Amino acid sequence: MQESTLNDKLGLPSHISNPSVDAMKTQLNPFVFLASFALASIHLYAETKDSEWTPLFDGKSTKGWTPRAKVESFQAKDGQLHLSSKVNVWVVSDLKMADFEVEAEVKIPTDYAGFNSGLGFRLIGEKGKPKGYQCEIDRGKPGGIYGIGMGGWLYPNKKTDAEYKARSKGLFKPEEWNKVRVACKGPSIKTYVNGKLVGEVEHKQSLEGQFGIQHHGKGGTVAFRNLRARKI
């Protein structure tokens, strides 16, 4: 008994050559190549984008950071920067940038409801309290933009207070780690809390400077981790 050919199974006339599996593979190869190339490109792009970030904290020491006043304690612990002070103090990084994104995760102490901290950027001045800008970190105005020696509260103000309250409502979690991000391009300043846009203003008194972390005093320890920045 004659075995069924592939043509018989497919219902093709006998004069038509049998489809070749090898030929089908050959036809598919370009598609496999393109798919592999696309996946490799995506992976390479993700690695490249991630490599653009510059760590502000090495995870094990306070190298690259300088307190501008007396602190009770400033140390690296468990992959975090811990800052404690009884007076208002800024700790400033060596890194300086103009247009950038900077981000950090922060956890404030819970034993004092009025605790106040901040993430500084475009800071200028070699000694003492710097001038520049601050992304507020506290229960009252998280993500607010403060001009240090540059006008005080830039956002919110009387005109933008209602907008700010709507944007920031429920975003900051005092008992948890919170992610803050600042994006600066020219005079444009935008702040984000846990992934949501909170503050935005245009101000050009300082367009380049260092980064910093603040403790407003009255005790307690504020912790920062995953601090990094990149040029944009």
Residues 6 or more apart from 201 whose CB is under 8 A from it?
145, 154, 155, 189
Residue 179 confidence (pLDDT): 98
* For residue 96, pLDDT beyond 70: yes
* For residue 30, pLDDT beyond 80: no
Q: How many C-beta neighbours within 10 Å does residue 183 have?
A: 18
The answer to whether 148 touches 140, Cβ cutoff 8 Å, is no
- Mean pLDDT across the chain, nearest whole number? 86
Nearest to 191 by CA among 78, 81, 109, 102: 102
Q: Are strands 116-124 and 209-215 parallel, antiparallel or unpaired?
A: antiparallel
56-231 topology per CATH:
Jelly Rolls (2.60.120)
The answer to whether 133 touches 189, Cβ cutoff 8 Å, is yes
Residue 130 confidence (pLDDT): 97
pTM for this entry:
0.79
The CA distance from 145 to 200, in Å, is: 8
Instruction: State pLDDT tens for residues 170-214.
Output: 999 999 999 999 999 999 999 999 999 999 999 999 999 999 999
| Mean pLDDT score, 31-46 | 49
Length in residues, the chain? 232
What are the b/e assignments for 38-55, b being 16+ CB within 10 Å?
Answer: eeeeeeeeeeeeeeeeee
Sort 177 into a burial class: Cβ within 10 Å, 0-12 / 13-18 / 19+.
Answer: middle
Helix ranges, the chain (H): 6-10, 21-51, 161-168
Q: Which amino acid belongs to residue 85? A: S
Percent of all residues in the chain with a pLDDT value above 90, rounded to a whole number: 75
